[in-house]
Structure 1
Amino acid sequence: MHSRRRYVSLGLAAVVLMLGLTATAGVSAALASKERRSAAQEMDRQVDLAQAAVAGEVRRYLDTVDTLAVALASHDVLTPEAFERITARVPGENLPGATAVVFVVPADGRAAAEPGAVAAVQDAWRAAGANGLTLRPASGVAEHFFAVYGRQLDGRPPAPAGADLAEVPAIADVLRQARGLGGAAISDAALLPDDPDRPSAGRRRALNLATPVLGAGGRLRGFVLLGLRGQDFFGGAIGEVLHPRVTATLAANREGGGLLPVATAHPIAPPSDALRRTRYLDIAHRRWRLDVAADPRELPGASSDRPLVAAAAGALPSVLLAALVYLLSSRRAKAMALVEEATRDLRAAGREARDRAALQRAILASVSEGVTVVGEDGRVLLHNPAARQLLGTAEDAEHLEDWPAHYGAYRPDRVTPFPADELPMVRALRGVPVDRAEMVILNPAHPDGILVSVSARPLDRSGGGPRGAVAVLHDITELRRHETELAQFAAVVAHDLKSPLTAVHGFAAVAAEALADAPPRPETAGFAVERIRQGATRMRAIIDDLLAYTTARDAPLHLAEVDLRPLVDAVVAERTAPRPAAHLSRAVPDGAPPVPSVRIGPLPVVCADPNLLRLVVDNLVGNAIKYTPVGRPPQVEITASTGGGGVRLEVADRGIGIPDEEKGRVFDSFYRASPVDYGGTGLGLAICRRIMERHGGSIAVEDNPGGGTRFSVLLPREPADAARPDGGWRRLQRPAETRAITHAMARSAPGVEP
């Protein structure tokens, strides 16, 4: 019998131990899975940052080259002094990796083979002031590209003028491409010619940016060529954006086909289980590949000891519980005595807990902030309900030494555990008041973590030293998130305003020089002033988008019955009206864009805010016309249908479309889908989504059968009165007058089909 009871006790203990260990393994696996997901999310964020930084820097370099070309073209005779004066500001443009800027003139290889042809080109530029210029034509080439003027940007001695750059295939190719495009172009990646002593794998990579310099009537006068060292350019673009433990490699097309790695930021050999991402960037008719890799254990917030701690914390109670089951089963009499003794202690602890709970309810009943009280021995005396909710667990830590591990307290970097001896309550026990100390609480109740501000004060110093401490906890997660969004908002605004400001600055200098010349050149000054006005117009468009973004979020709704037909007619009339020549894109060869073709179907009456709804329609129609390949007439179709408790308005086009992988992000603030050459602030669709959400509706995007994009806007037939800040009152309108004005505007716009 004794042996049988022993086996039963062992069996019960084994079952308890197995159940405990199984539960512990499940919790550890769940925590490890969550950390892997966090690592993947952080990796995607790092890739987005790198992609945006590279694309933005390339656009800035291309803008600089275009500005130099326009400034050089403004001089009828380009002298060395004029070249030096125009390029003098380039070193101050903060262009990491830039090696030299060169003015290049072309010459036909067959014509140059004739006696005296090269000498004639040489004499023409010597007459312009290039004294001592000696052109050295390469043999066996169809076309020569002579370097006439140059400015070194990397501190090296300047290369001698007169070299025939046709000897460098990558440079000759980008110059021909720039001439064919009529604008800026980027070369294939190539090995630097000044690294002949290095092995091929260790030689530095180079890129070249070129744009044509056009004279009167579009006559090609030469090229502006900007050389780049890939490693310095790439490091300057993303070196401070990426986490220092994330490795990024940029590869570009190489001469002869294939991809050549241009540069690597943070060259760290990733482990075999590293996270890897690949993105392709299409910029200036070139495709670049961005490869990003990182050890998931090195990413912020992606790795911790929580799975191991959970396993240890679960295994130990399981073993103890199994031992207790065995003890209770085998030694019943002794166990009963132990239970009785434990019960006496529990009853005493229960009375103490009830007294403490009564004290909490009396003192903290109306306190909404988290409050923690600790004794002079460091034991936690109480947490009020708000503190327990903030800390994410109903069980209190017994001692301050256990506090960081128990609640998952970390420093604001979300990686370093908060030291127990630096807790505000511990410092208050030493008599030091603490104000607004910040820590992150990261546990199963707060899997994404919350930022908490803690202030602590000593309690009762009448006995000569602190007898305890009280701490107040406040959740500042949302406050910090708003601060971060504000910082991102300011960064985007500064970045988007920098390019037009650069153009305004450059053309202001051109205008000043043209007016200061003797005699003055009013045509050049007028051209520069017009370009300044265009830059100011672009800045005003950016500011208008930002104001619309704020209005869509904060402006009160004024709901009214809105007839969609006159509203759409007015938007289409404005969007298709002929623009002055100064506003036309330089991508249009003859200066006259194709006339858009817009078909409008039957449209119903909806209940919405007229001004905000017009903003939605204007954004969708403007995008449909804007994102159309150059030279192709935009085709837009606007239709509506009713059903399902609302009205669905659809705007379809035959434009360039949106890649499937980007459809889920086009409604995010400041996000611009590929290709980025079409410009914009990335706020238009974010404004549309915010307006539709405030109306209780939605907006979606899908491919248009046959090519292009189709946007669908769902408006509820009658929004709830709770969504109306004016309590349901509707603003008085004059539909007849509005309809007459918008129909008149529609009749004056070409390409609109009723």
Structure 2
Amino acid sequence: MVAAEDFESTEFLNRLIGGMAEGVIFIDAENIVRICNPVGGEIRGVKGVDIVGKPFLDCHPERVYEKVLELIEKLKTGEQREISRVVCLGERFFEHSYSAVRDEEGGFLGVVAVSRDITERRILENQLVERTRMLEQSNRLKDLFADIMSHDFINPSSVILNYTDMLLESELPRDSADYVTSIQGSAQKLVNLITDARKFSRLEESEDLTLESMNITAIIDGSLKGLEKEIAKKKIKIVWKNKPVQTILVSPIIEDVFTNLLSNAVKYSREKSKIVLNVEDTAESTVVSVSDQAEKIERAHWKNIFERFTRVGKESVEGSGLGLAIVKRIVELHRGRVWVEDNPVGGNTFKVELPKKTRENKKRKKIVGG
């Protein structure tokens, strides 16, 4: 047993630890407090000097006596060398670390307890946990919603489209045919909206693409082929100002960019007008232009037109409001840019710039369209 007088020689330790930000308490082998700095006492709601010479248990509520004694016993027997506990005192959180103190022969001298105020850290941790939980829940709900849209909306809409096709192929009174056509248009609009929403959601979550060498003019020709019926119906003339055989490093989903831009140009252009296409090659990039003769887009809308659900064209023209947002996101994933400007002969010119040095020879996360 260490005599109480022997601790008088440790008086200098009180001065040494007195200015520490952490609370420090030394408890001897008889569980008596021999050293306690001001912070150590403050944490326990007393003055440090008032608990020196008193049982360590006096610093705790009676309900935790057994736990405190058990903790000290584990350190005394060597079952554990260090024990940490986090406790809540009022609105503050403290981390108490207890370590055994032994002499040169390994004899047990007591326990040193170091206490730190971790309230701010705990608040940040809780906020992070809550934020993570909310994000996980949001992602689950988004995935669930996407599945519901795919199964419960698109599938029935496809059935409606099939039946309306069959009805329109039969001999119907004109009024009935008009109603069926209206139903078919609404069903198709719903399918397009859901398809675009799913595509945009996947693009928003993605950071990388798988790039490959592709002929840019061949990609645009593919988009034009898919719009042949609409182009012919409005008797629109497609004019190539410059059509080089230009190979660039892109993802196959780049076709969605030109399909959206060309589809908009056709939808908003007047009948018997022209759509002019141009591919410009520079040392640093390839710039593709799509010029229409539609109603001019006001300069004030040039930036926000690429945001979700922003539409500034004719209300009578159907669309999901996501097409240009999809265009912008795909171009951004290629480290490029897209913008709109006035067409000198009337209408608008949409330009897409794709850099040639887009992390060459590096594969990026593949996005599956649709």
> Which category of TM-score, normalised to the shorter sequence, fits these structures?
0.5 to 0.7
**Could you tell me which of 664, 676, 683 is aligned with 2:322?**
683
- The answer on whether the counterparts of 2:192 and 2:320 sit within 8 Å (CA) in structure 1 is no
Query: What residue is the counterpart of 1:375 in the other structure?
Result: 43
What secondary structure sits across from 1:669 in the alignment?
A: coil
Question: Could you say what secondary structure the match of 1:678 adopts?
Answer: coil
**Does 2:247 align with 1:575?**
no
What is residue 269 of structure 2 aligned with on the other side? 628
**Residues 657 and 563 of structure 1: is their aligned pair in 2 closer, same or farther, counting only changes over 3 Å?**
same
Q: How does 1:359-374 map to 2 (within 5 A)?
A: none
Q: Which of 336, 346, 368 does residue 707 from structure 1 map onto?
A: 346
Task: Report 1:317-716 matches (<5 A).
Answer: 352-353=20-21, 375-377=43-45, 428-430=88-90, 470-471=118-119, 472=122, 473-474=124-125, 475=128, 523=173, 527-553=178-204, 554=206, 557-577=209-229, 593-600=233-240, 601-629=242-270, 632-716=271-355
Q: Distance between the aligned counterparts of 1:649 and 1:622, measured in 2?
A: 15
CA contact (8 A) 1:651 1:711 kept: yes
| Change over 3 Å in CA distance of 1:525–1:549 after alignment to 2 | same
Runs of 4+ in 1 over 4 A off after TM superposition: 347-351, 353-356, 455-460, 467-471, 476-490, 524-527
Matches within 5 A, 1:173-252: none
Rate the CA distance shift 1:481–1:666 in 2: closer, same or farther, 3 A: farther
Deviation, structure 1 residue 535? 2.1
Structure 1 length-normalised TM: 0.29
The 1:526–1:478 alpha-carbon spacing in structure 2 relative to 1, beyond 3 Å, is same
1:375 Cα deviation after fit: 2.9
Amino acid corresponding to residue 560 of structure 1 in structure 2? E
**Mapped partners of 1:725, 1:633: distance in 2:** 42
Deviations 1:524-560 (A, max 9, x none): 5555444333222111111221233234343962322
Quote the Cα distance in structure 1 between the aligned partners of 2:227 and 2:260.
10
SS at match of 2:227: helix
Shift in Å at residue 673 of structure 1? 2.4
1:496-548 deviation per Cα after TM superposition (whole angstroms, max 9, x unaligned):
x9xxx9xx8xxx9xx9xxxxxxxxx9535555444333222111111221233
Amino acid at match of 1:660: R
SS of 1:666's partner is helix
The letter of the residue matching 1:539 is L
Please report how far the alpha carbon of residue 720 of structure 1 lies from its aligned counterpart in structure 2 after TM superposition. Answer: 0.6
CA–CA separation in structure 2 for the residues paired with 1:686 and 1:692: 10
2:197 and 2:332 mapped to 1: Cα distance? 18
Q: How many residue pairs are counted as aligned between the two chains?
A: 253
**Quick one: structure 1 residues 657 and 604, their matched pair in 2 at CA, closer, same or farther if it must change by over 3 Å?**
farther
CA offsets 1:413-469 (integer angstroms, 9 cap, x no match):
xxxxxxxxxxxxxx9424x9xxxxxxxxxxxxxxxxxxxxxx968979xxxxxx997
Q: What percent of counterpart residues are identical?
A: 20
- Tell me the distance in 1 between the aligned counterparts of 2:194 and 2:332: 23
Cα distance, 1:598 vs structure 2: 1.0
Q: Distance in 1 between matches of 2:257 and 2:311?
A: 17
How far apart, CA to CA, are the structure 2 residues paired with 1:647 and 1:355? 65
Give the aligned residue type for 1:429.
Answer: L
- Cα distance in 2 for partners of 1:705, 1:376 equals 78
CA, structure 1 residues 533+697, in 2 after alignment: closer, same or farther (shift >3 Å)?
A: same
Return closer, same or farther for 1:639/1:522 CA change in 2, 3 Å cut-off: closer
Preserved contact between residue 429 and residue 458 of structure 1 (Cα < 8 Å): no
CA distance in 1, matches of 2:255, 2:281: 19
Q: CA deviation at 1:646?
A: 1.1
Q: TM-score, normalised by structure 2?
A: 0.55
Contact 1:647–1:716 (CA<8 Å) still a contact in 2? Answer: yes
Instruction: Please state whether the residue corresponding to 1:706 is helix, strand or coil.
Output: coil
Alignment of 1:104-183 (within 5 A): none
- Compared with structure 1, are the counterparts of its residues 657 and 556 closer, same or farther at alpha carbon in structure 2 (3 Å cutoff)? same
Instruction: Tell me if the contact between 1:576 and 1:596 (Cα under 8 Å) persists in the aligned partners.
Output: no
Secondary structure of residue in 2 paired with 1:680: coil
Deviation at 1:718, TM superposition (A): 3.4
Give yes or no for contact 1:598–1:635 (8 Å, CA) kept in 2. Answer: yes
**1:674, distance to aligned residue in structure 2 (A):** 4.8
Quote how far apart the aligned CAs of 1:618 are: 0.5
- 3-state DSSP class of the match of 2:209? coil
Specify whether residues 720 and 610 from structure 1 end up closer, same or farther in structure 2 by C-alpha distance, changes over 3 A only. closer
Report deviation, 1:667: 1.4
After superposition, what is the alpha-carbon deviation per residue over 1:254-296, rounded to whole angstroms, capped at 9, x for unaligned?
Answer: xxxxxxxxxxxxxxxxxxxxxxxxxxxxxxxxxxxxxxxxxxx
Which residue does 1:255 correspond to in 2?
Answer: none
Q: Which amino acid aligns with 2:303?
A: G
- Judge conservation of contact 2:277–2:288 (CA < 8 Å) in 1: yes
Give the direction of change, closer, same or farther, for the CA distance of 1:532–1:726 in structure 2 (3 Å limit): closer
* Alignment check: 8 A CA contact 2:210 2:365 kept: yes
Measured in 2, the distance between the counterparts of 1:672 and 1:484 equals 27
* 8 Å CA contact 2:23, 2:43 repeated in 1: no
CA positional deviation for 1:651: 0.9
Contact 1:653 1:710 in 2 (8 A): yes
Equivalent residue letter for 1:598: I
Q: 2:65 — aligned with what?
A: none
Equivalents in 2 of 1:706, 1:482: separation in Å?
A: 51
Distance 1:354 1:458 in 2: 10
**Is 1:599–1:638's contact at 8 Å kept on the other side of the alignment?**
yes
